[in-house]
Amino acid sequence: MGSNILSRRETFMAIFLPMTGTVLSIRAFHHLLGVHHVYISGHIVRHLFSGVLLLIPSAFVVAFGTPYRWLAILIRMTIGISSGMILDEIVFLIVTQGGDNDYLSGISLGGSAAFIFLATLMLWILSVVFENKNS
């Protein structure tokens, strides 16, 4: 149900643009205005964790499908946004000490760029593979 509401190109763009836009926006904000954190009950909430909280229910909706084109687009955009949030912080949290200056470091930026590149490559390959199977 609803699995073919969007073309493979539409699906690619609905995920790719928000994913890259999210990372560019987050990085620009922090590099221009400094690193700022969100705290809940004294605990820092990283955008990686926020991304996971958005990605999981979005994946469930995709798994069951939707008959609504607007929801199919919105869910894929949410997948793009949440994926960008997650991919942006992976190297930062694993490789560095996790400080504010570490987030602004070349290692963190390069890791983010590498993961976004790999995710985009995988997304493109899948869009090509599934396009050919539906031809």
**pLDDT higher than threshold 70 for residue 4:** no
In whole angstroms, give the CA distance from residue 41 to residue 39.
6
Closest to 18 measured CA to CA, from 89, 120, 90, 113 = 120
Domains identified in the chain, total number: 1
- Mean pLDDT for the stretch of residues 7-27: 96
Domain residues for 72? 8-130
Identify whether 119 is part of a domain: yes
In whole angstroms, give the CA distance from residue 31 to residue 5.
38
In whole angstroms, give the CA distance from residue 91 to residue 73.
29
Identify whether 135 is part of a domain: no
State percent of the chain over pLDDT 90. Answer: 82
Cβ contacts of residue 90 below 8 Å, gap of 6+?
A: 48, 111, 112, 115
Identify whether 3 is part of a domain: no
Identify whether 71 is part of a domain: yes
Identify whether 1 is part of a domain: no
Identify whether 77 is part of a domain: yes
Query: Residue 133's pLDDT is what?
Result: 61
**pLDDT higher than threshold 60 for residue 3:** no
Q: Give bridge partners of residue 38 from the DSSP assignment.
A: 45
pLDDT tens column, 79-134: 999 999 999 999 999 999 988 899 999 999 999 999 999 999 999 999 998 776 65
